[in-house]
Amino acid sequence: MAWNEPGGGKDNDPWGNRGGDQGPPDLDEAFRKLQQKLNGLFGSGGGGGGTGSTSLSGGTIGLILLVAALIYAGLGIYTVDQQERGVVFRLGKLVPEAVLPGLAWNAPIIDEVFLTNVTRVRTHPHRTEMLSGDANIVDVAITVQYVIDSPTDYVVNVRDPERSLAHATESALRHAVGSATMDEVLTEGRAQLAIDVKERLQRYLNVYGTGLLVSTVNIEETAPPAPVKAAFDDVQKAKEDEETLVNEADAYLESVVPVARGVAAQQVQEATAYRDQVVAEAQGETQRFLKLLKEYKLAPEVTRTRLYIDALEKVLSSSSKVMVDVKGGNNMLYLPLDRIGQSGGGVGGLSESDIKRLVDRQINARVAATRGRDGR
């Protein structure tokens, strides 16, 4: 018998209703109860008679919005260090003004901030083999030191500024090395090579708009390739020996030339003095001769005798020996004047008068002997 047939019994209602007037459950009532529970969770009480509020109160919504705004505002606060600058994109569009050091705020989700350090010196090492201007292969290692000069250009213009720097360094270095000889690259031209690479590299970076500023280019090493290094070392050793010999020759030249110039100057001065002396003596002799000529014209015999005596005196004054010729005899008298002078005016303690008497006596004896021989 079906549950809803007459006499079938009302207790057989599958919906569990008890009582003759009860029907299926009310879904609206179930939703109202659920709404009341939610309102209780958010602090809103339900109305009397089993009815509740169907929406959140205005105070609750305002509180939720305030908390969300505070969280949103807090997420947008950040600090920029003294060494940093900030680049801002608002909805994908660049904001011209850079963010300066200090506390800053940008709207999350709407703004995107890129912070870059503009004071830190970055280093890019580079090493490669290349041809020099005289078609020789050289191995060059350099180090490029740079800083970020324009944060906006660094972030916006180039996708990978460091990679662009590496390519520009390779190009600038090859151009500088290709314009120089191998000797210049390896020896005295290294300083100029660094200057040329720095200038050309900076021009490339400016054209690319990387925002990088090259501060220093250091030439770490320049060397020939390993297979020819031994031969190159021999060449360098020969050049050093050549420079050493040239320096020694220059030093010898500097030591000899001044001495030779001094000797030459001394000889010139001596010759000049000798010339002046000869000229002066000649002039003096000329004046003396003219005076003697005048006297000779007045008294020829006396002047001639005087000249003869002066000549003998001049000749005998430099001689230590005197030979006396005795007339009428074959013997000559020898007087050792040097020994007489050394004895202080006498010989053997004799005075000059004694010596004179002895000399006269000897002369007289010689004369008498000569006359006796002639008489026989």
Confidence of residue 273 (pLDDT cuts 50, 70, 90): very high
User: What angle, 0 to 180 degrees and rounded to 10, lies between the N-to-C axes of helices 229-298 and 300-316?
Assistant: 140
Looking at per-residue confidence, does 64 or 165 come out higher? Answer: 165
Task: Please give the pLDDT value at position 359.
Answer: 64
Higher pLDDT, 314 or 349: 314
Block residue for tokens 């105070």: 59
- Cα gap 277→324, rounded to integer Å: 37
Rounded Cα–Cα distance for residues 346 and 352 (Å): 6
- β-partners of residue 85 are 116
Task: Average the pLDDT over 303-319 and give the result.
Answer: 78
Of 376 and 27, the one with more pLDDT:
27
- Give the strands of the sheet with 212-223, arranged side by side: 122-131, 137-148, 212-223
Across the chain, which distance is largest between two alpha carbons, in Å? 235
Angle at the Cα of 196 from the Cα atoms of 194 and 200, rounded to 5 degrees: 120
301 or 75: which leads in pLDDT: 301
Q: Write the CA distances from 187 to 139, 143, 184, 216, integer angstroms.
A: 13, 18, 5, 20
**Window from 92-106, 247-261, 326-340 with minimum mean pLDDT:** 326-340
Q: 58-88 burial, b if ≥16 CB within 10 A, otherwise e? A: eeeeeeeeeeeeeeeeeeeeeebeeebbbbb
pLDDT of residue 126: 92
pLDDT score at 1: 42
**pLDDT value at position 168?**
94
Residue showing tokens 């009341």: 36
Q: How far is CA 164 from CA 141, 168, 212, in A?
A: 18, 6, 10
83 versus 219: the higher-pLDDT residue is 219
Residue written as tokens 């209780």?
40
> Bridge-partner residues for 131, per DSSP?
137
Structure-model confidence comparison of residues 329 and 211, the more confident one: 211
The structure's pTM equals 0.48
**Would you state the pLDDT for residue 276?**
93
